Amino acid sequence: MAIARDLSPVVFRGEPDNRLRERGDWQRPWFFTEAYSQAKLYTGIQKWRDPRDEPIACVLAGRTVLDLTAPDPADVRHRVIVDALTAEFDDWTCRASGERRDAWSFLETGDLYDYEGTGSGERWNALFRIAFEHADAVRVLDMTDGTKGQPVPVWVAHQRDTIRLATLGEELGARLKQQPWEAIEAWLEAHHPQAGVLERIDRMRRPDHDQRADRVHRVVPRCNFEAMGITGAPQPVYRGVPAAYEILPGDWIALNARYAGEHGGRGQAAFVKTLPLVHPEDIFWAGSDESEFLYLPTAWRREGTSREEYLRSLTPEQLRMFCDGEMSSLTRHAREIRKIEDHVHRNFDVEACGLYHGPDHWARVSQHALAVSRSLGIDPLVPYIFGLVHDSQRLDDGTDPEHGPRAAAFVCERRHDLFGFLPDEAVEALALACDLHSDGQTEGEAWVRACWDSDRLDLGRVNIVPDPYCLCTDYARRPEVIAAALQMSGRGGEDFIEDDDSEGRLQRYGA
């Protein structure tokens, strides 16, 4: 089954073979094993009736892909590759049984490598060396790790190509364009039962209005913050589920404060998941157990809709984040983001501009960007990068009225290298947000408004309380969010939420 043939850039489900990275042998091919990745993620081996029906997002038009999972002597390209293998290796005897075989049978059984004592690493590597002369990526059967001796389809491409992993959200989006809902629902139930997509959809369209949290800063008691050695305003929440890579909308979340308290504040760091600045309307307590709540962000709710209507109502970015997590784009582009960080740090004059507009400020803005983006249901990638670059072109720590336009020009000048991984609309939004971020504007597309609010929430560092009338989103205007932002800025926001009257709170801080 050909899925997502029009996806761009090239995407594969799976992960690079860690054995190659451990050896540092970067001239070898890079392996992407679908079944192994699925087995690790869902703690169970996925089996498919048809090897062409496993969950995978395929290829970009214009790239040549060679599928050898069903080698066909009538296919000229297949025959050329097998003939070259046969000419290079004389002996194709099965070492386990002594049976004389040929290259075709090794490909058909998925045992070209040395799993059952029949293949060899030399033959395996030779296959791809030859195949890459005819294609950009190759797909073969392989009895890879984690599949209990069952041959499964494996994508292989040379590591020098830039290839990122497919995501469940991207694949689901492609199927929504190509298949009827009944087929998609059956596919989710058959291939991704542990992903919980359908269950989360049901929660977001019929949320359980049990008991709301009344204070965001009480999600985890302050004493437990101190016990765990956690400081700062962002509210961590904990769930002891090692298979969960990230908390997703519609998830049940268990607060591990009790566990940490019993172990002297020592939690298992690998299980810690963070939701920065959780706001109360997104939280519904289980009712019977105060240590668990349901995470239902307002931006993701669609009450009264069907499952199909719910998924089709989400933008492509929302669909990906709903399935894969709000941080998935940051994780995917971690290498590119690190390059931006390294560049702006190397070229920034900390002594001249670092007191109020330096890396500490950038970090807080990027942290706010995650929370504001969540409240709007948008991809946090652009607002997060905005935090790194919006003040990076300053000449001093004063007014410097042209620093925004200079930052916008920097983004545009480097759009084909440093920011080349961003689509055009993202680059344009980033440049616009940088250009006007000091002008006090409040209207614009969601990406731009998230950027501006992320910056303005850190005004406490210069002894200015963010004015709700100058903020762009309902989330940023919330008194408890402003209070938490003041804490992050070092201003202190404990008293900001004591008074129920928001106007009184603002007057108290001189707004």
Residue 299 DSSP class:
G
Residues 265 and 373 in one domain: no
Answer yes or no: is 511 within a domain: no
Residues 360 and 262 in one domain: no
The predicted pLDDT at position 392 comes to 94
Condensed to tens digits (0 to 9), the pLDDT of residues 75-117 reads 898 999 999 988 888 777 776 677 777 888 888 877 665 544 4
Residues 149 and 219 in one domain: no
Residues 93 and 136 in one domain: yes
Answer yes or no: is 182 within a domain: no
Q: How far is 46 from 269, CA to CA, in rounded Å?
A: 29
Who wins on pLDDT, 212 or 272?
A: 212
pTM for the model stands at 0.61
Answer yes or no: is 320 within a domain: no
Answer yes or no: is 185 within a domain: no
Residues 487 and 345 in one domain: yes
Res. 14 pLDDT band, cuts 50 70 90: very low
Of 166, 200, 223, which closes a domain? 166
Q: How much of the chain, in percent, has pLDDT values that exceed 70?
A: 57
Who wins on pLDDT, 507 or 201?
A: 201
Residues 292 and 348 in one domain: no
Nearest residue to 320 (alpha-carbon basis) of 253, 379, 275: 379
User: b vs e for 386-416, b when ≥16 Cβ sit within 10 Å of the residue's Cβ?
Assistant: bbbbbbbbbeebeebeebbebbbebbbeebe
Residues 291 and 351 in one domain: no
Phi, psi of 45 (to 5 degrees): -80, 125
Residues 348 and 243 in one domain: no
Number of structural domains found in the chain: 3
Phi, psi of 392 (to 5 degrees): -75, -15
Contact (Cβ atoms closer than 8 angstroms) between residue 457 and residue 482: yes
CATH of residue 350's domain is 1.10.3210.10
Answer yes or no: is 508 within a domain: no
Res. 296 pLDDT band, cuts 50 70 90: confident
Residues 156 and 249 in one domain: no
Q: Provide the 10 A C-beta neighbour count for residue 73.
A: 9
Answer yes or no: is 400 within a domain: yes
Answer yes or no: is 196 within a domain: no
The predicted pLDDT at position 408 comes to 97
Q: How far is 94 from 212, CA to CA, in rounded Å?
A: 66
Compute the mean pLDDT over every residue in the chain, rounded to the nearest whole number: 69
The predicted pLDDT at position 150 comes to 64
Contact (Cβ atoms closer than 8 angstroms) between residue 141 and residue 156: no
Q: Give mean pLDDT, residues 490-509.
A: 44
In this predicted structure, the answer to whether residue 59 has a pLDDT above a threshold of 70 is: no
Res. 337 pLDDT band, cuts 50 70 90: confident
Residues 394 and 450 in one domain: yes
In this predicted structure, the answer to whether residue 202 has a pLDDT above a threshold of 70 is: yes
The predicted pLDDT at position 149 comes to 60
The predicted pLDDT at position 426 comes to 94
User: b vs e for 205-239, b when ≥16 Cβ sit within 10 Å of the residue's Cβ?
Assistant: bebeeeeebeebbebbeeebbebbebeebbbbbbb
Q: Give mean pLDDT, residues 426-454.
A: 94
156 half-sphere exposure, CB direction, 13 A CA radius: 26
The predicted pLDDT at position 288 comes to 54
Q: Give mean pLDDT, residues 236-258.
A: 53
Q: Give mean pLDDT, residues 411-421.
A: 93
The predicted pLDDT at position 418 comes to 93
135-149, 178-192, 374-388, 409-423 — which is least confidently predicted? 135-149
Answer yes or no: is 502 within a domain: no
Q: Give mean pLDDT, residues 226-239.
A: 41
Residues 10 and 130 in one domain: yes
266-270, 358-362, 367-371, 435-439 — which is least confidently predicted? 266-270
Res. 310 pLDDT band, cuts 50 70 90: very high
Contact (Cβ atoms closer than 8 angstroms) between residue 436 and residue 456: no
What does DSSP say about strands 137-142 and 152-158: parallel, antiparallel, or unpaired? antiparallel
Contact (Cβ atoms closer than 8 angstroms) between residue 160 and residue 16: no
Of 133, 166, 199, which closes a domain? 166
Q: Give mean pLDDT, residues 376-386.
A: 90
Res. 190 pLDDT band, cuts 50 70 90: confident
The predicted pLDDT at position 17 comes to 39
Of 113, 132, 166, which closes a domain? 166
Who wins on pLDDT, 131 or 61?
A: 131
Q: How far is 67 from 141, CA to CA, in rounded Å?
A: 10
The predicted pLDDT at position 39 comes to 28
Residues 105 and 244 in one domain: no
Q: Which domain holds residue 232?
A: 208-300
